[in-house]
Chain A
Amino acid sequence: MVDTVFVWRRLVGAQIRSQLQYRLSFALDAFGSFWISFIDFLVVLVIFRNVSRLNEWNVHEVAFLYALSSITFAVTDMLIGQLDQFPQKIRDGNFDILLVRPRGTLFQVIASDFALRRVARVVQGSIVLVYALSTLTIHWTVLRALVLVVSVPSAIVIFSSIWVVGACIAFWTTDGGEFTNAFTYGGTAMAQYPFDIYATWLRRLLGFVIPLAFVCYFPALYVLGKTDPLGLPRFLEFCSPAVAAVSALVAGLTWRSAVRHYRSAGG
C-alpha cells in the first residue's frame, strides 16, 4: 500500500512537472476549465432570478449543494477522469501492456494521465462554497461539521466508483464508453439540485440504485438542519460513508471480473 502510494506520487509528480513546463497553455487550459464549470452555476443564478425558491430550497442552499457536488466531482475528475479515454486502450489493444506489468491494472490506468488543469474546477467549486457558507446561517455543532467533512471523501469515493463501473462497460462493448457520461457528468449535474424536484422513478434509479442522493442531498439536509421534504428516514443523513464503502467494493469487484473476461483486440 505504502509502495503503491509512493509509485503513484512519482508518476503523477512527473506529469505535473511536465504539464507546468508550458505555462501559457496550462493557464489557458485552466482558464477554459474554470469557465466551462462556471456555466452550471450561472444556470443556478438565472433560475433563481425567476423564482425565490425551488420547492423548499433557496438560492444559498442550492449553491451549497452545487458547491459540494462540483468540488467532489472535480477532485474525482482530477484523480481518475482519464478513465474517459480508457475505451481507447481496449480498442487498440494497449490494455495488454498493463496486464504484464507488476502493478494493478486499475492503478496503472489511473496513474497514467493526471490532468492538473482540472484543478481549476476545484477552485471554481470552492469559490461557490465560500459564497454559500457566508450567506447561509448554519447552526454549527460538532456533529454537523463532522458530517460535512466526512461527506467530501465519501462523495469522491461514490463518484469514483460510478466512474470505474462505467469504464468497465468498455470491456464488453469496446466503444460506447460514452454511456458513463450519463452517470458521471449527469450525476454531478443531478446532485447539484435538491432531489425532491425530480420524479420518483428518476430519484429511485439515480439516487439510490446509483447512490447519487448520498453525494450531497442527505449530508446537506443534516448540515443545513432541514427536514427532508421526501420524509425519508433520518438515519440516511449519516449513511454516506457506508454507502461509499459499499460502492467502492462493488466497483472493485466489477473491475476485477471485467478484467478476467477481457479478450484482447489483438493490438
Chain B
Amino acid sequence: MKQVRLDWEIAKRGWRRYAAYPWATVAGVFTNTIFGFLLAYILLAVYRSRADVGGFDAGDAVTYVWLSQSMIMTVYIFSWWELAWRIRDGSIATDLLRPLNPQRYWLAFDLGRAPYHFLFRGLPPFVLGALVFELRYPSPLDALAFVVSLTLAVVVSFGFRFIYNSIAFWLLDFRGVVTLSTTIVIFFSGMAIPLRFMPTALRDLCYALPFGSVIQTPVDIWLGKRDGAALLGVLGLQLFWALALLAIGQLVLRRATRKLVVQGG
C-alpha cells in the first residue's frame, strides 16, 4: 500500500515536469497539427483513385492521421533518453541505492506524464483536425476499450524505451542505438503510415510484434474495427507485450547492475 502511494507521488511529478513548459506544449501542438494536415492530404490523394485500402476508407484514414498525431506524445514515440543519461553520468548509482526499483520508478513517472500529454498535446490537435475534416467517433464501448488500449500502449512503449535506454550500461555512446530504436517504432507501429497500407505479410508481422500495439491497435479499436473476441484478443496481446517487455527490462537491469561500474565522480 505504501508502495502504491509512492507510485502516485512519483506520477504526480511526472505530470508536473511536463506541465512546467507551456510554450513547448503550444509549439508541439502546432507542429503536430501541421503534420496532421500534410499526412491527411497525402492519404486523401491515395483515396482519389481507390475507395478502400486494407479495410480503411478515406474517413478511417483521416481519423487515423489525427488520432495518431494526437498519440505521438502520449505514448512518447520519439527518443526518450532520460534513463540513458542517468546511466551515463553515473546518477544511476544513486537511483540503485534507493529502496525502489528504477524500472518501477520510471514507469510510475511515465504514467503520470502520459495523461498530461494526452490532455494537452493530444486533445488540441485532434480538435483542430476535427474542425476541418469529418472524423469518425467510437461507440461508448469502443471509447472505453480505446482508453484501456491506449494505457496499455503507453506501458508497451515504456517497456521498449526502458530496454533501449539500458544499452547505456554497456555502450557509452548510445545515441545511434536510441535513434535506431526510435526509427523501428515509428515505422513498425504505423506512426509513419497506417499498417493497413502495408503488404499483408509485413502488416501481420507489425501487428504481432509489440510495435503494432503502440499506435495501430488503439486506433483500430477507436474506429470499431475490432469487436467481441477480436477486441479481447488484441487487448490480450497488448497486455502480453506490456508484461513481457517489463520482464525483459527487469532482466536487463539485473544483469547490468551485477557488473556496474559507475562513470564519473
Tally A residues with Cβ within 8 Å of B.
46
Interface string of A8-45 (1 = CB under 8 A from B): 00000000000000101101111111011011101100
Interface string of A182-203 (1 = CB under 8 A from B): 1101100110010001110010
CB within 8 Å of A: which B27-75 residues: 27-28, 30-31, 33-35, 37-38, 41-42, 44-46, 48-50, 53
Q: Is the CB–CB distance between A32 and B176 below 8 Å?
A: yes
Chain A residue nearest to B41 in the complex (CB): A198
Q: Is the CB–CB distance between B177 and A28 below 8 Å?
A: yes
Instruction: For the complex formed, measure the closest distance between the CB of B38 and the CB atoms of chain A, giving whole angstroms.
Output: 5
- The listed residue (B31, B45, B175, B187) touching A179 by CB distance below 8 A is B31
A193: which B residues are within 8 A, CB to CB?
38, 42, 45
Binds B, one of A48-56, A103-111, A138-146, A235-243: A48-56
Chain A residue nearest to B178 in the complex (CB): A32
Q: How far is the CA of A185 from the CA of B39 in the complex (A)?
A: 13
A179 with B38, Cβ < 8 A, contacts A28-B173, A28-B175 known? no
Q: Is the CB–CB distance between A32 and B199 below 8 Å?
A: no
B197: which A residues are within 8 A, CB to CB?
46-47, 49-50
Interface string of A54-69 (1 = CB under 8 A from B): 1100000000000000
Q: Is the CB–CB distance between A178 and B24 below 8 Å?
A: yes
Instruction: For the complex formed, measure the closest distance between the CB of B44 and the CB atoms of chain A, giving whole angstroms.
Output: 8
Q: Does A92 contact B (CB under 8 A)?
A: no
B30: which A residues are within 8 A, CB to CB?
178-179, 182
Interface of A: prevailing SS: helix
- The listed residue (A22, A39, A176, A199) touching B41 by CB distance below 8 A is A199
A190: which B residues are within 8 A, CB to CB?
38
Q: Is the CB–CB distance between B26 and A31 below 8 Å?
A: no
Q: Does A181 contact B (CB under 8 A)?
A: yes
Q: Does A177 contact B (CB under 8 A)?
A: yes
Q: Is the CB–CB distance between B42 and A176 below 8 Å?
A: no
Chain A residue nearest to B132 in the complex (CB): A199
A22 with B173, Cβ < 8 A, contacts A176-B26, A190-B38 known? yes
Q: How far is the CA of A197 from the CA of B23 in the complex (A)?
A: 32
Instruction: For the complex formed, measure the closest distance between the CB of A59 and the CB atoms of chain B, giving whole angstroms.
Output: 12
Q: Is the CB–CB distance between A186 and B199 below 8 Å?
A: no
Instruction: For the complex formed, measure the closest distance between the CB of A183 and the CB atoms of chain B, giving whole angstroms.
Output: 8
- Other A-B pairs, 5, CB within 8 Å; known A32-B177, A49-B198: A25-B176, A55-B48, A176-B23, A178-B28, A197-B42
Rank and list the top 7 A-B pairs by shortest CB-CB distance, nearest first. A28-B176, A32-B179, A25-B173, A176-B23, A178-B27, A197-B45, A32-B176
A52: which B residues are within 8 A, CB to CB?
49
Q: Does A227 contact B (CB under 8 A)?
A: no
Q: How far is the CA of A100 from the CA of B1 in the complex (A)?
A: 58
Q: Is the CB–CB distance between A186 and B38 below 8 Å?
A: yes
Of the listed residues A28, A47, A50, A193, the one surrounded by the most CB atoms of chain B closer than 10 A to its CB is A50
Q: Is the CB–CB distance between A55 and B23 below 8 Å?
A: no
Q: Does A135 contact B (CB under 8 A)?
A: no
Q: Does A4 contact B (CB under 8 A)?
A: no
Q: Does A173 contact B (CB under 8 A)?
A: yes
Q: How far is the CA of A182 from the CA of B173 in the complex (A)?
A: 29
Q: Is the CB–CB distance between B173 and A181 below 8 Å?
A: no
Q: Is the CB–CB distance between A35 and B31 below 8 Å?
A: no
Q: How far is the CA of A190 from the CA of B41 in the complex (A)?
A: 10
- The listed residue (A50, A181, A189) touching B38 by CB distance below 8 A is A189
B42: which A residues are within 8 A, CB to CB?
47, 54, 193, 197
Q: Is the CB–CB distance between B41 and A24 below 8 Å?
A: no
Q: Is the CB–CB distance between A42 and B187 below 8 Å?
A: yes
Q: Does B96 contact A (CB under 8 A)?
A: no
Q: How far is the CA of A175 from the CA of B24 in the complex (A)?
A: 6
- The listed residue (B35, B45, B173, B180) touching A24 by CB distance below 8 A is B173
